[in-house]
Structure 1
Amino acid sequence: METEKEKMIHGDLYLAGGEELKKDRRKAKILLHRLNVKEYRITKNARLILAELIPNSGKNLYIEPPFHCDYGYNIFCGENVYFNVNCVVLDCNKVTIGSNTLLGPGVQIYTATHPLDAVTRRTHEMAFPITIGSDCWIGGNAIICPGVTIGNGCVIGAGSVVTKDIPDNSLAVGNPAKVIKKLNQNIQELDL
């Protein structure tokens, strides 16, 4: 029989009030308090806190406090990932962020969602994974909804709400976000 944590990670209906999940959220909140209140600067100690909070990250993860997440251990970052201030990651399911990706201030990443049926919604939640590719720039206050994949080399405009997958090398803007331009098509023509 699956635990509530296993159900959560598999994208099934689960009970968020289970003891194991409450314990995990409590641990994350303690670490976030240390990061957001006691440190509030990226110090050696803050880097140790981040390593414990987000153990599945590559080199040079940089997070400007304040930062908020549910668990931390469901966030998987490549190398050189940057979160600006006030980012929120509801990581009830896996959040994968590729290398060299920048997230602007106030970006919100939501794996968590709720059933449409009101009676089921009273007790249960669901969560679907989110993937953001490498070399992306997610503009300030963008919202990434559950189950979305953003390809490599994408730019998501500030304030956009991403409800559907975005293909590689796309500029997407709006609510809901729509691809308005392909990017990096003639990169060899650039005078670097």
Structure 2
Amino acid sequence: MAVSENKARSLRGEIYYAFTPELLGERRRCALAVSRYNNAGEVSRRKRVELWRDIVGDKSPLPPAATTEEEDEELFAEDAWVEPPVHIDYGTNLELGDNVFVNFNCTILDTCKVTIGARTLFAPNVSLYSGTHPLDPEVRNGTKGPELGDEIHIEEDCWLGGNVTVLPGVRIGKGSTVGAGSVVTKDVAPYTVVAGNPARKLRDVPRGTKAEETSGAVAALERDRAAAVKP
């Protein structure tokens, strides 16, 4: 599909105009899809995935339904889990990896590309802002003036705490943790813990702890599963 020069500029992070009929229409489409997702109520995992794919413009077909509800849910075990309500600008500029969890009240302004890597976790109220505005107020000019932005990339296995804000042009490296309430204004190196406003490195991420095993959590889960299948 042909892309207008104005939209192409927006995706490249160059100055563009957001209140054109084309981009207004794309945001309206996303708003309606997000509304359906947020107001779906108690629906099956299959339906929730279908509604999410509508937001991001994923046209890939769902797998055939399984025999039981439990088996059907397993078909979507690797699909991202996004708790409503969620707030998204375009949807089609957003990519979530396998096994991502996004807690409620997340805001994603995907003016430019926004990617969230596999197994990354978001606490409530995380905000990703890939769009911004000119500093010159005469250029900014309310809804009549131009805007711009820059891509946001959050790599695999990250954890963002509650009320974290990520600004345009930021890359958060693989395996990193961002402390609650932080404002991330620049890149975060892989496997580091950062926090604050602006976020700064506190320490390296611990690795190889095997805490899920040494704490007894895995053994407890296995005992629960064994007990559940007894007649």
Tell me by how many angstroms 1:152 deviates: 0.2
TM-score, length basis structure 2: 0.77
Deviations 1:74-126 (A, max 9, x none): 11111111110000000000001110000110000000100111111110100
TM-score, length basis structure 1: 0.92
Secondary structure at the aligned position of 1:47 is classed as: helix
Secondary structure at the aligned position of 2:194 is classed as: strand
> What is the one-letter code of the residue matched to 1:27?
R
The count of corresponding residues between Structure 1 and Structure 2 is: 189
Between the two proteins, what is the percent identity of the paired residues?
Answer: 38
Conserved 8 A contact 1:42-1:64? no
1:71 counterpart residue number: 90
User: CA 1:89/1:66 → structure 2, altered by over 3 Å: closer, same or farther?
Assistant: same
Q: Give the gaps of 5 or more residues in structure 2.
A: 61-75, 214-231
Query: Quick check: which one's strand share is greater?
Result: 1
1:77-116 superposed matches below 5 A: 77-116=96-135
> Structure 1 residue 5 and structure 2 residue 7: aligned?
yes
Q: Give the gaps of 5 or more residues in structure 1.
A: none
Deviations 1:29-64 (A, max 9, x none): 110111112x14463322211012124699411110
Secondary structure at the aligned position of 1:65 is classed as: coil
Query: Quick check: which one's helix share is greater?
Result: 2
Tell me by how many angstroms 1:190 deviates: 4.4
> Structure 1 residue 179 and structure 2 residue 179: aligned?
no
Equivalent of residue 151 in structure 2, options 104, 129, 142: 129
Worse overlay, 58-67 or 13-22 = 58-67
1:62 counterpart residue number: 81
Tell me by how many angstroms 1:3 deviates: 2.2
Q: Distance in 2 between matches of 1:174 and 1:42?
A: 38
User: CA 1:131/1:41 → structure 2, altered by over 3 Å: closer, same or farther?
Assistant: farther
Q: Distance in 2 between matches of 1:176 and 1:143?
A: 10
Conserved 8 A contact 2:155-2:174? yes
2:16 counterpart residue number: 14
> What is the one-letter code of the residue matched to 1:13?
I
Secondary structure at the aligned position of 2:33 is classed as: helix
The higher radius of gyration belongs to: 2
2:52 counterpart residue number: 50
Q: Distance in 1 between matches of 2:130 and 2:115?
A: 11
Conserved 8 A contact 1:41-1:65? no
> What is the one-letter code of the residue matched to 1:118?
P
User: CA 1:132/1:41 → structure 2, altered by over 3 Å: closer, same or farther?
Assistant: farther
Secondary structure at the aligned position of 2:125 is classed as: coil
